[in-house]
A = this chain, B = another copy of it.
Amino acid sequence: MIVILKQNYPEARLSTLKDWLKTLNIDIQMNKGTACTVLGLIGDTTNVDEDMLRALDFVDNVQRVSEPFKKANRKFHPEDTVVEVGGAKFGGDNKTVLIAGPCSVESEEQICGIAESVKAAGAQMLRGGAFKPRTSPYDFQGLRAEGLELLLKAKRLTGLPIVTEIMDISQLDLFADVDLIQVGARNMQNFELLKVLGRGNKPVLLKRGLANTIRELLMSAEYIMSGGNSNVILCERGIRTFETVTRNTLDLSAIPAVKELSHLPIIVDPSHATGAARFVRTMTLAATAAGAHGLIIEVHNNPSAALCDGPQSITPPQFEEIAGQVRKLEAAL
């Protein structure tokens, strides 16, 4: 960490600062220039609060040389982390895991039917929303506890592990048999929820917030990991931009960027990112070529009747075709 001091800093207060940093086992190297004086902080600066330093009135600026995340940082864990979820392996050199299912669980018939279809078409995991974050309180909020039960029925029927979204700490008990707990984009910085999930060891699928950076995503992963749970899978699901043809903008460069900065697996959600079924095939192939460790795709047996997010769902036959192309592409690269 580099601390740039203002021109006329008070020697006495600087010396207090240095003493305090030494108590944190930080070595200090000082570089006095004509224009400015620079402190180089050497050691583990993870616990040094950047804002606190910046708050000092004789400090001009603070710049981290190393990233503020530690457990999620590839520098300290050069090997890829592989997260296993009921047989499916995310990360490392494992093949792209395909997760498929409807936006919302609507009925036993619906979720079981889709589960069987996507399994036959090559999916290794089932997705489906029980608790639904909706912008309007008047829109369908999901079947909630009942939806979770139906998902578990589909799991027992097909053997597919399931992933579904948690919206609040108070719902955690209901997730005992869920294989992968999803934290949605709107909750990426719900730090209290992240802390609680960090105390368990259940795998967590952490979605990137709509206007969050990759480093912020990794800091949120660090919240979970600092509690002891290192079973974290990241998910790129589109960010908010000025573009309107697609609902959000899928940031595929997040895949190589995350792989460079972190050892955690990263998957892609082309359905929410584009908001349009007709773009899902293309963006799935692009994500695969970009090296995604998995794909989470919305599939509905009757998209036009889906209670929510219908426009972004593809049908089981379309999913089967796409899955085939993903495998062909993986073989070629």
Contacts and interface: CB of A to CB of B under 8 A. Distances in A.
A85 interface: no
Nearest to A186: B189
A214 interface: yes
A65 B211 contact: no
Task: Give the copy number.
Answer: 4
A256 B283 contact: yes
A47 to B, nearest CB: 5
Interface in A120-168: 133-140, 167-168
Interface in A194-239: 195, 210-216, 219, 222-223, 226, 239
A257 B245 contact: yes
A34 B38 contact: no
Contact of A243 (B2, B213, B245, B290): B213
Contacts of A325: 333
Contacts of A140: 49, 52
A240 B239 CA distance: 12
Contact of A244 (B213, B219, B308, B332): B213
A311 interface: yes
Most chain B CB inside 10 Å of its own CB: which residue of A256, A306, A331: A256
Nearest to A279: B256
Interface residues of A, number: 109
Contacts of A226: 137-138
A189 B133 contact: yes
A133 B191 contact: yes
A101 B54 CA distance: 20
Contacts of A241: 239, 241, 249, 251
Contacts of A66: 35
User: Which of A36, A190, A253 has the most B CB atoms < 10 Å from its CB?
Assistant: A253
A4 interface: yes
A183 to B, nearest CB: 12
A8 interface: no
A318 to B, nearest CB: 13
A47 B215 CA distance: 32
Contacts of A139: 49, 51
Contacts of A35: 40, 42, 65-66
Contact of A332 (B46, B192, B274, B329): B329
B36 A31 contact: no
15 contacts: A2-B4, A29-B33, A30-B31, A31-B38, A55-B308, A61-B65, A136-B222, A137-B223, A186-B189, A186-B191, A241-B251, A246-B253, A256-B283, A286-B287, A288-B289
Given A137-B222, A256-B279, 19 more contacts: A31-B31, A31-B38, A33-B42, A38-B38, A38-B40, A52-B307, A61-B65, A137-B195, A137-B223, A169-B170, A187-B190, A213-B245, A245-B254, A249-B253, A253-B274, A255-B282, A285-B289, A286-B289, A329-B329
